[in-house]
Structure 1
């Protein structure tokens, strides 16, 4: 079995998702490269098999070119994991499976449920499976694999400090997936007439009639690229990150903390543990409206202090998770500059 030479790329993060931000940020944190494969011209559902075939070729070509000694690969779908597993088998590279909650067949992901056997197979051949909660770690261990709780790296962007506007803006970050209580957010907006509520995500995926029937203070932004998303986040006073899935840890909630913005999250035990300084509310309109009002009631000094405390907790947790990833992938700890 041929081992990658010392001159190769130390690490790659492979993703086939529409957004490549997570891969780019983790690659930067681990001193490597992101391999973001998403042929946008083939995005239509009827072209999925063609897109997957092209993506397999592009992924394999990138791995051959970069020859990483360690790889993280996002799951679902399982196909890029199979490509990375084959590469690891041929070269002796280590890999971690970056398994989103939906990869376990929850959140209405029927395809992931049908391919869960492949996910288990990949997990047993990996150096670890990255998950959101200790409960998923226990599930992965039942497969005979190693589980690691890993969330989100610091973002590549920065935003200006929060400045409370006369008419506050609340940003609900989502993609209209099955676990997002979008209807409840729209109903909460009706209880907050002096606040603008921005809802992200491709409006073609919105439930029929929702956009037309929404109150006038609801703005459906459509899909936001990274630059537009950063701008919306910077303009926001409060971020809503909500889910009906108890084991989800939303990237949007992490981004809100990194941006030092007030945060309202769904009231699940996992989210209470991960975001102890957020406002935790049930996914009902009245409760969400109450959470927004409470977040907006803080005076600027109290809000800034709360945001800094939340950021400190998050940064310390990320350092621990980063160390666990380095250990699993046998990556060296970088030497501090000037050492």
Structure 2
């Protein structure tokens, strides 16, 4: 098909997504393919109809021989799987999340349909890219063909920003999702002295427990709200340490990649997937407020050691990513 590491040689290739996601932008650049992002703010049904039409019109017009797509959206993956033989292209689906394992045994018909579509796309895609071995084994068990490629460490603009402030600053990278221990972090902050300050990113107004949150927020916590990209990077770069906690297993968080890229010591969740991949430069915590607070104190006690470990981890992850990327390129050449 004509690939080389770092991009395509002759084939027309595009990367299609319905969400503007950093991972997709980074991988599209790495594969040197055109990045096509279709966005609609309509409600779910009309959004799917509008984006499906736009996608198919574009594919028919540009006639790519290879399409990469991001899943989510699962509907995007379904449409491209369905039409790939009709239109005539190879399909690689980047399935970095969205498996919904906790709902596989649900009797809710919505989840039944979701997993039917999910399994169909995993089987019909030529390749599926996942982030870890467990997900690869799952895809392969369904008759699909999976390759492991974690996120590429992002190129951030503020990597050399000096840190000078009186208080010990921790930024909790959050989207106020259900898998993040928001209330537990607030309780942990209340156990810390005012020597520490915790910034929490993300759109807190959409949080399901917003009224409870407002009642218990301590003085040493700042809710930043949603930040534009430049301001978000400045917030991370000016922090002493970064905290990213998810309760979801088999998930590698974007915030942890950002922490490594910036050389920041980390407080991370204690899931097996997180601890195996981000295996140094971090302390791993349960959701108990006392343990979160204790780990913050421990991190600052030896913060220079953790900074050195993050630097080592960055070099290791970059080398590992290049190896895995080369393996996918070789497979594409043989497809």
Same fold, TM-score > 0.5, yes or no: yes
1:237 paired to 2:240: yes
Deviation at 1:85, TM superposition (A): 2.0
Aligned-pair CA distance for 1:313: 1.5
Structure 1: how far apart are the matches of 2:98 and 2:27? 20
Residue of structure 2 aligned with 1:283, choices 283, 287, 295: 287
* Contact 1:203-1:220 within 8 A present in 2 as well: yes
Aligned residue for 2:70?
74
Are residue 319 (structure 1) and residue 322 (structure 2) matched? yes
Structure 1: 5+ residue stretches without partners: 1-5, 333-339
Aligned residue number for residue 61 of structure 1:
57
Deviates more, 1:150-159 or 1:257-266: 150-159
Distance in 2 between residues matched to 1:88 and 1:9, nearest whole Å: 16
Q: Give the unaligned 5+ runs of structure 2.
A: 1-7
**Superposition pairs for residues 52-201 of structure 1, below 5 Å?**
52-106=48-102, 114-161=113-160, 163=163, 165-192=165-192, 193-201=194-202
Q: Distance in 2 between matches of 1:221 and 1:271?
A: 25
Change (3 A) 1:125 1:328: farther
CA gap of 1:129–1:216, structure 2 versus 1, over 3 A, is same
* Partner residue, 1:36: 37
Match of residue 298, structure 1, among 292, 296, 302:
302
What TM-score comes out, normalization by structure 2 length? 0.86
Aligned equivalents of 1:59, 1:269: Cα separation in 2: 37
User: Paired residue for 1:11?
Assistant: 13
TM superposition shift of 1:205: 2.1
Alignment partners' CA distance in 1, 2:86 and 2:155: 33
- 3-state SS of paired residue (1:31): coil
Summarize the Cα distance change of 1:222–1:106 in structure 2 as closer, same or farther, 3 Å threshold: farther
The alignment of Structure 1 onto Structure 2 pairs a total of residues equal to: 320
Measure the CA separation in 1 of the matches of 2:231 and 2:157: 13
**1:2-34: CA deviations, max 9, x gaps?**
xxxx997643222222x4322111111111122
Q: CA RMSD in A?
A: 2.6
